[in-house]
Amino acid sequence: MSGRAFFDTNVLVYLFDEDAPAKQAQAKKLFSEHARAGRIVLSPQVLQEFYVTVTRKLGRPVSPEAALAAVSHFSSFSLVPVIGDTVVRAVRLHQTAVVSFWDALIIQAALEGNCSKLFSEDMQDRRTFGTLTIENPFAPSQGS
């Protein structure tokens, strides 16, 4: 493994999803490996989506206090600020690359964070954007 890695919301959610034990184990392994190496990159959008998802959308929701603790922990990693220029570039990406606006904003943040990988279950596995490659860590062929 080399390079910085951006983690999409869904991968972080699986860290807390007890109803998906295989994905939870894979997410924990991946996150731990990249955290130890200092390669994790996130964005405020990911932190916001994570909080809402784990407190409202899981079969067994996380308590607001535990979710706050997790967001505080995630905030200690490299965060890409989403500023006006980031949004403008994401809009352009959305218009040209046939991805949802919210995915474009994640992709743009990963690009601005100088990431070589974007771990996501919700985007097209192996699709590239410049030097950034999307990787679904839960796809059968994935091991890291």
The pLDDT tens digits for 32-63 are 999 999 999 999 999 999 999 999 999 999 99
CATH-assigned architecture of domain 4-135 = 3-Layer(aba) Sandwich (3.40)
What whole-number distance in Å separates Cα of residue 66 and Cα of residue 88?
A: 34
Spell out the residues 6+ positions from residue 63 whose beta carbon is closer than 8 angstroms to its own: 55
pTM of structure: 0.94
- Say if CB 136 and CB 142 are below 8 A apart: yes
Per-residue pLDDT, 143: 53
- Rama region for 120: left / alpha / beta (φ>0; ψ in -120 to 50; rest): beta
- Say if CB 54 and CB 62 are below 8 A apart: yes
H helix intervals, the chain? 9-14, 21-36, 44-56, 64-74, 84-97, 101-112
pLDDT at residue 65 is higher than 70: yes
What whole-number distance in Å separates Cα of residue 137 and Cα of residue 144?
A: 6
What whole-number distance in Å separates Cα of residue 4 and Cα of residue 19?
A: 29
Output the six-digit token pair for 82: 């989403």
Condensed to tens digits (0 to 9), the pLDDT of residues 23-40 reads 999 999 999 999 999 999
